[in-house]
């Protein structure tokens, strides 16, 4: 072999080696910081070329499933999602094992464990009752040494039948985050009873009531869909500990866990499968329970019945925040989205406040990220709209209704507008602020009163640790 040929061969091998290194460096990324990653681009999914030449489904056969996302949630654990025929059972088969899951709304999510191997070839098939099994979709899943399991509050876990959960909601369910007896007593005496004493001192003889509304998370509502390894170590939870303290205090406690259990089979989901927040219907239940209590003193504040809302259900709404944090494609994970639209007037709230505060019209509030999404509003809102999670003031000029200060988290986004409609003066605190401001309690009182009628704290189970700081 001539020296020229030897040189050319060496150069070629060097070029091939450099290309392999570059390609390897492109496919590995640190998934532990999803909040710092740019939005995922699903314009060219893992299945695009196959779809362009997809042959029509033969009569009598199930449609071939697609694959829209392959995500390493750890080096060897891989989550695969895609679309399929409605009602299909999906099976991922390797030469040595298989995983089978049910689909929902024409999508599926499954988890595959490489179990020490570097890669596996998988055949993804779908089967609908009464039809033959589909043509297989062939993929290769690989070990990713750079993939790290998230350890923050945004770690997403796959449950049964496509349900997604934040890991911390499972920890709550299993009783893994209990607090000490002294911490419970501190919350009872130095938070609850201290708040009531301070409010009564400022009231000057006027009645004021402190109300806590606790909302359970999705694990509590749909525990039967948790992954198999979610085992209760104790039947006591942080929710139960806070509830016990509230029951011992002079505050009013509204326990939505009990209410959700009673309404779980109403026909509407309380939580979507791919979102951590309550649905519009669950929000209506919170609103109804709270206002039924207040109506005992203020009959005019009774909640509007469900027949005074237009209830619509869609199955074409993109998946929620759990799909996004799980690095899946929300546009392929369609939800059973239930929306409630008031049939009564919401054109109110921006009347002049006696302290000349800037008030907001209820019609201007934005709840969701946009049309076709079940994710709640983020920092960006549409032109002319106001984020429903901001600190807001309303004045409806109806003296027969009570006044209130409402401290809340983002679980209130679904119903805060028509909740505020039930009050004369109302302050909605910025989402995540639970510190009662006693000066504000006087500012937002109705005419002739030295203090508001109600101070209300609405909080999701996942945020209970914020109350005991």
Block residue for tokens 């007037």: 345
Check: CB of residue 290 under 8 Å from CB of residue 256: no
How does DSSP classify residue 134? P
Block residue for tokens 């020490």: 116
* CA distances, 139 to each of 100, 103, 397 (Å): 16, 19, 63
372 C-beta neighbours (distance < 10 Å), count? 14
Stated pTM of the model:
0.86
pLDDT score, position 460: 96
Stretch 240-266: mean pLDDT: 96
pLDDT score, position 31: 34
Distance (Å, rounded) from C-alpha 155 to C-alpha 218?
15
What CA dihedral angle connects 39, 42, 46 and 47, to 10 degrees? Answer: 170
**Confidence class for position 44, pLDDT limits 50, 70, 90:** very low
Beta strand 392-395 pairing with 425-428: antiparallel
Distance (Å, rounded) from C-alpha 233 to C-alpha 256?
23
Check: CB of residue 316 under 8 Å from CB of residue 145: no
CA-based nearest residue to 225, from 271, 286, 168: 271
* CA distances, 177 to each of 36, 146, 237, 363, 423 (Å): 27, 29, 7, 40, 36
Check: CB of residue 298 under 8 Å from CB of residue 287: no
* CA distances, 200 to each of 21, 298, 451 (Å): 70, 20, 9
Which residues share a beta bridge with 317?
Answer: 335
Q: Which of 48-57, 109-118, 255-264, 282-291 has the lowest mean pLDDT?
A: 48-57
Residue count of the chain: 469
b/e map of 257-269 (b: 16 or more CB within 10 Å)?
A: bebbeebeeeebb
pLDDT score, position 440: 86
Q: Which residue has the higher pLDDT, 399 or 372?
A: 399
Q: Which residue has the higher pLDDT, 339 or 8?
A: 339
Check: CB of residue 84 under 8 Å from CB of residue 106: yes
Stretch 422-448: mean pLDDT: 90
Position 39 pLDDT exceeds 60: no
**Confidence class for position 280, pLDDT limits 50, 70, 90:** very high
pLDDT in tens, 311-325: 998 877 899 999 999
Q: Which residues contact 445 (CB under 8 A, 6 or more apart)?
A: 206, 403, 425, 451, 452, 453
pLDDT score, position 52: 54
277 C-beta neighbours (distance < 10 Å), count? 25
DSSP of 58-114, one letter per residue? PTTBPPPPP--EEEESSSSEEEEEEE--TT-EEEEE-SS-EEEEE-BTTEEEEEEE-
pLDDT score, position 380: 87
Give the CATH class of 32-149: mainly beta
pLDDT score, position 290: 98
244 C-beta neighbours (distance < 10 Å), count? 14
Beta strand 89-93 pairing with 119-127: antiparallel
CA-based nearest residue to 253, from 284, 297, 209: 209
Mean pLDDT of the chain: 87
pLDDT score, position 264: 94
Distance (Å, rounded) from C-alpha 204 to C-alpha 183?
31
pLDDT in tens, 48-86: 445 556 889 999 999 999 999 999 999 999 999 999 999
Distance (Å, rounded) from C-alpha 225 to C-alpha 219?
8
Distance (Å, rounded) from C-alpha 206 to C-alpha 444?
14
**Confidence class for position 434, pLDDT limits 50, 70, 90:** very high
Q: Which residues contact 83 (CB under 8 A, 6 or more apart)?
A: 65, 66, 68, 106, 107, 108, 332
Any alpha helices (H) in 295-350, and if so which ranges?
A: 321-325
Block residue for tokens 């008030």: 359
**Confidence class for position 211, pLDDT limits 50, 70, 90:** very high
Position 416 pLDDT exceeds 60: yes
CA-based nearest residue to 326, from 27, 125, 74: 74
Tokens (6 digits) for 453: 């009628």
Position 99 pLDDT exceeds 90: yes
Check: CB of residue 133 under 8 Å from CB of residue 106: no
Q: What percent of the chain has pLDDT over 90?
A: 71
Question: How many CA atoms within 13 Å lie on the side-chain side of 126?
Answer: 25
Domain boundaries, the chain: 32-149, 176-468
Stretch 434-440: mean pLDDT: 88
Position 32 pLDDT exceeds 60: no
CA-based nearest residue to 105, from 91, 86, 127, 81: 86
Position 27 pLDDT exceeds 70: no
Most confidently predicted of 43-47, 139-143, 437-441: 139-143
* CA distances, 234 to each of 174, 176, 220, 230 (Å): 7, 8, 14, 12
3-state secondary structure of 252: strand
Beta strands in 164-225 (DSSP E): 164-166, 209-215
């Amino acid at each position: 072999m001539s020296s020229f040929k030897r040189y050319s061969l060496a150069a070629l091998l060097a070029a091939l080696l450099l290309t392999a290194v570059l390609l390897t460096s492109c496919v590995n990324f640190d998934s532990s910081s999803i909040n710092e990653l740019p939005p995922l681009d699903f314009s060219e999914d893992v299945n695009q070329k196959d779809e362009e030449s997809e042959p029509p489904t033969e009569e009598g056969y199930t449609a071939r499933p697609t694959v829209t996302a392959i995500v390493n949630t750890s080096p060897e654990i891989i989550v695969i999602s895609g679309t399929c025929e409605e009602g299909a059972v999906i099976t991922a088969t390797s030469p040595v094992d298989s995983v089978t899951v049910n689909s929902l709304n024409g999508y599926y999510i499954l988890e595959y464990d490489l179990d020490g191997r570097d890669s596996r070839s998988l055949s993804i098939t779908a089967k609908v009752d009464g039809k033959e099994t589909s043509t297989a979709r062939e993929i290769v899943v690989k070990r990713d040494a750079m993939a790290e399991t998230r350890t923050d509050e945004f770690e997403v876990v796959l449950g049964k039948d496509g349900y997604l959960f934040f890991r911390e909601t499972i920890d709550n369910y299993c009783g893994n985050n209990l607090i000490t007896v002294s911490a419970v007593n501190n919350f009872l005496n130095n938070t609850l009873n201290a708040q009531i004493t301070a409010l009564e001192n400022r009231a000057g003889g006027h009645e004021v009531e402190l109300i806590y509304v606790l909302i359970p998370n999705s694990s509590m509502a749909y525990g039967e869909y948790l992954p198999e390894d979610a085992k209760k170590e104790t039947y006591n939870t942080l929710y139960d500990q806070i509830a016990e303290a509230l029951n011992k205090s002079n505050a009013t406690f509204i326990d939505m866990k009990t209410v959700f259990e009673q309404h779980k089979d109403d026909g509407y989901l309380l939580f979507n499968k791919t979102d951590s927040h309550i649905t519009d219907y669950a929000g209506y239940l919170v609103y109804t329970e709270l206002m039924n209590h207040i109506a005992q003193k203020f009959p005019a504040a009774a909640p509007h019945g469900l027949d005074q809302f237009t209830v619509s259900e869609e199955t074409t709404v993109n998946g929620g925040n759990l799909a996004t944090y799980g690095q899946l494609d929300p546009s392929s994970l369609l939800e059973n989205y239930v929306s409630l639209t008031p049939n009564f007037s919401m054109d109110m709230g921006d009347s002049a406040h006696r302290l000349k505060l800037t008030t907001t019209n209820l019609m201007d509030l934005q709840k969701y990220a946009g049309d076709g999404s079940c994710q709640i509003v983020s920092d960006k809102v549409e032109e002319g709209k106001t984020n429903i999670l901001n600190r807001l003031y309303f004045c409806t000029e109806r003296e027969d209704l009570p006044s209130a200060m409402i401290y809340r988290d983002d679980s209130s986004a679904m119903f805060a507008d028509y909740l505020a409609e039930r009050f004369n003066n109302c302050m909605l605190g910025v989402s995540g602020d639970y510190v009662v401001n006693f000066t504000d309690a006087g500012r937002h009182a109705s005419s002739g009163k030295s203090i508001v009628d109600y101070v209300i704290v609405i909080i999701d189970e996942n945020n209970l640790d914020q109350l005991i700081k």
